[in-house]
Structure 1
Amino acid sequence: MRWAKGSFFAADDRLPVRRGVVMPHIRSRAFGPNLSVASLCMNVCIAAALLAVDASAAHAGKIKMVFPGPVTTFSLPYLVAQKKGWLGDLEVEDVHVTGDANAMRVLLSGNADIGLIGTLNVLASINAGASIRAVHSWQPIGDYSLVLATGKGSKLADVAGKTFASSGPGGLPDQLPRLIMRKHGIDETTARFVQVGGHAARLQAVIGGRADATLVNTVTALKGVKDGKVTVVARLSAEFPGLGYVWNVVRTEALAKPELAAAFQTMTDIGIRGSRFVMANPDEAAAILHERLGDLDLAFLTAVVRDLNGENVWGVNGGLDPAIEEFTADLNVKLGNLPVAAPAKDVLEPRFVERALATLGNYQSK
């Protein structure tokens, strides 16, 4: 089966509406503009009321999954599983929105059964009263790079006073530059943040002059460097080793529904298998990614996947390491982004990962 090639950059140009490639077990839809952090508590309350009438349309063998942006590298284990047919009879409808806050809103309202959402937003939502749990992660460790427009500076100190393109309030691209600046004693109040959208849209904002800097993933950062448009001044993996990136999150009440629990198990299984496949077969994984990001050169994507493998970002053992949750929560409390650090037991639900590893075994690095 062949996937139609789409434009990586055009996908973000069309925000907030995106059309995905349709496969027999996958359909796509989109939701509107991002949600502000200030309305997070209100949304949690609204979502609780909506859940009382069981808004989810999921039934046996069919779920909806929300993503905080268009297809990119954090979905690679999932893309591999789709290509290999590992989802079996499970039908997944992909819902693409702009930013973590909006993805959380869709999940809490019952318009999705599972969501790939940034760790900080998940922790903030739990602090605000959301009844959710992380069940696995395809990419638990972030691969973000902080980039500056060519001519705007070449070192981290040069980010002072710059305008940053972000995905929206409360998202990692909004919060992580602030964390990095605080760590290095750079006055974050001199920076300005403008809401743009996903990775490629943020890079375009920098290239086009709407912003001076942004935080983007490896594939986007290296594309900008290759084209001579940006300079990398910091990498997240070096600045905050062990800082969590994204979790796949579900509503707690959904865990008690057998049909959804079975789907969550499948998504966990294929995520682990897909992560291990990427590590063992980076060239083939890059070719699968190229089918979705056809405007990017295959050789370039191969270099990106190999770079990510070198950073050990994938969820080869399910991506629910409690140490990552604890480090992420504690760091954000110290930096004033969270009031308290939620313990791992209140954030992570390991049953699906444990069941998968009982069959697949623990990953053995080559």
Structure 2
Amino acid sequence: MIIQRVCLFMLGLAMAGASLAPQEAFAQKVWRHGMVEAKSDAGFVFMVDKGGFAKKHGLNIEMMQFKGDALALKALLAGELDSYEGSPGAPLLAASRGADVKAVGCYWPGLTYVIVTKKDVASLAELKGKTFAISSPGALPDLFARAVLEHAKISSDDVQFAAMGSDTDRFRAVSAGVVGAAATSSEFTPMLDKMGLKVLVHAHEVAPDYLRFCTYMSGKTIATRADDASSFIAAEVEALRYAMSNRDAVVKLTKEMTSAKDDDPRASFVFDEVNRYNAIDPEMPISAQRMDWMQNLFIKTGNMKTPVDLKKFIDVSVREKALTKLTEAKR
């Protein structure tokens, strides 16, 4: 009799555990977020997931990496992502053609990007006739390269663009002499001198209004998953607030995500450069003025034919709800 009661008790515990598991799984809603593959800014990008901030807001985040942000946009429009982060270039181009994409927050308003060349290239004018490494047409490296050429009053027809994949791929292509110049993130700056390369120009000098990273969602996702969408942005804001105040944690996470060696200087360099240029704003505001500057730039470079209605392209509701959630959580 005692054995029977024990068995029934154990069976009850097992059934309770079985019924609890689905509830716990249900509480953590899946949110699929895309970004460019991990590099030396990964500590900022992945903090929302690895720092536990998404789970704190009830989301089980799936981070999906892409070779370029234009590919992430395609995944968003195909319904394979709930959000992604990248340059406003490709989303503006897509929106001008009627695509359902909205900017919901911009956490990296300062563009920490450079044009890398061999040391013997003395000026932007010398880029004429050279092969320019980009990632893919319409992605950040391509659009930034065109912005630099427009600043220097050089026609894009005077250079040849070559798709070279990631920042690392483009950096190696310049180093090997396969291409004459490359648009890359500034993370390789500490390594350039020993490779016989240099920064020809920094985005801060020629394109101070160029937005680097904003977060995008489809209008459908915002309408059907409004609470989850604001929870994700709330998690992002909290993660970025934490990251900006915790250099060691950001550098450590970056090296973990990129499998970098302990003596690799790039993660530290990126963090310090972000602070030097105030490149990240954890509150994720969207500057309509900068967005308008960008689309006017793309019209000048021939990427866009007509401007988009920024009041429709920018959705402030998600961020406003997110900030309200964070304020209420403090009470």
TM-score, structure 1 normalization = 0.75
Change (3 A) 1:198 1:263: farther
Change (3 A) 1:80 1:226: farther
Structure 2 partner of 1:19? none
How far, CA to CA, are the matches of 2:302 and 2:71 in structure 1? Answer: 22
Pairing 1:143-162 to 2, within 5 Å after superposition: 143-151=112-120, 153-162=121-130
Structure 2 partner of 1:323? 289
* CA deviations over 1:248-278 (Å, ceiling 9, x no partner): 1111111121xx3333223211222232233
Change (3 A) 1:102 1:62: same
Q: Are the aligned partners of 1:77 and 1:273 in contact in 2 as well (CA < 8 Å)?
A: no
**Quick check: 1:253 aligned with 2:226?**
no
> How far is 1:128 from its partner?
0.9
How far, CA to CA, are the matches of 1:246 and 1:65 in structure 2? Answer: 14
Q: Are the aligned partners of 1:74 and 1:139 in contact in 2 as well (CA < 8 Å)?
A: no
Letter in 1 for 2:271: V
Pairing 1:294-309 to 2, within 5 Å after superposition: 294-296=259-261, 297=263, 299-309=265-275
Which residue of 219, 241, 246 corresponds with 1:276?
241
Q: Are the aligned partners of 1:120 and 1:171 in contact in 2 as well (CA < 8 Å)?
A: yes
Letter in 2 for 1:273: E
How far, CA to CA, are the matches of 2:266 and 2:69 in structure 1? Answer: 27
Pairing 1:82-97 to 2, within 5 Å after superposition: 82-88=49-55, 89-97=58-66
* CA deviations over 1:161-207 (Å, ceiling 9, x no partner): 11111111111211222221222123432211111111111111212
> How far is 1:129 from its partner?
0.8
How far, CA to CA, are the matches of 1:81 and 1:218 in structure 2? Answer: 23
Letter in 1 for 2:32: K
**What is the Cα-based RMSD across aligned positions, in Å?**
2.3
Moved more, 276-285 or 155-164: 276-285
Pairing 1:230-245 to 2, within 5 Å after superposition: 230-245=197-212
Letter in 2 for 1:272: V
Unpaired segments ≥5 residues, structure 2: 1-25
Structure 1 partner of 2:184? 216
Structure 2 partner of 1:228? 195
Identity %: 21
Q: Are the aligned partners of 2:40 and 2:258 in contact in 1 as well (CA < 8 Å)?
A: no
How far, CA to CA, are the matches of 1:350 and 1:280 in structure 2? Answer: 26
Q: Are the aligned partners of 2:34 and 2:84 in contact in 1 as well (CA < 8 Å)?
A: yes
Structure 1 partner of 2:31? 63
Pairing 1:1-366 to 2, within 5 Å after superposition: 61-67=29-35, 69-73=36-40, 75-88=42-55, 89-151=58-120, 153-220=121-188, 222-257=189-224, 260-296=225-261, 297=263, 299-358=265-324, 360=326
> How far is 1:110 from its partner?
1.0
* CA deviations over 1:75-101 (Å, ceiling 9, x no partner): 543422333211114122222223233
* CA deviations over 1:103-126 (Å, ceiling 9, x no partner): 221111111121223211010000
How far, CA to CA, are the matches of 1:77 and 1:344 in structure 2? Answer: 27
How far, CA to CA, are the matches of 1:186 and 1:75 in structure 2? Answer: 33
Q: Are the aligned partners of 2:51 and 2:239 in contact in 1 as well (CA < 8 Å)?
A: no
* CA deviations over 1:278-309 (Å, ceiling 9, x no partner): 33222332222122123253544223211111
Change (3 A) 1:156 1:242: same
Change (3 A) 1:102 1:265: same
| Structure with the higher helix share, 1 or 2 | 2
Q: Are the aligned partners of 1:78 and 1:274 in contact in 2 as well (CA < 8 Å)?
A: no
TM-score, structure 2 normalization = 0.82
> How far is 1:321 from its partner?
2.0
Q: Are the aligned partners of 1:146 and 1:234 in contact in 2 as well (CA < 8 Å)?
A: yes
Number of aligned residues = 299
Letter in 1 for 2:269: A
How far, CA to CA, are the matches of 1:133 and 1:187 in structure 2? Answer: 31
> How far is 1:235 from its partner?
0.9
How far, CA to CA, are the matches of 2:177 and 2:232 in structure 1? Answer: 40
Moved more, 70-79 or 122-131: 70-79
Moved more, 123-132 or 85-94: 85-94
SS at match of 1:227: helix
Structure 2 partner of 1:42? none
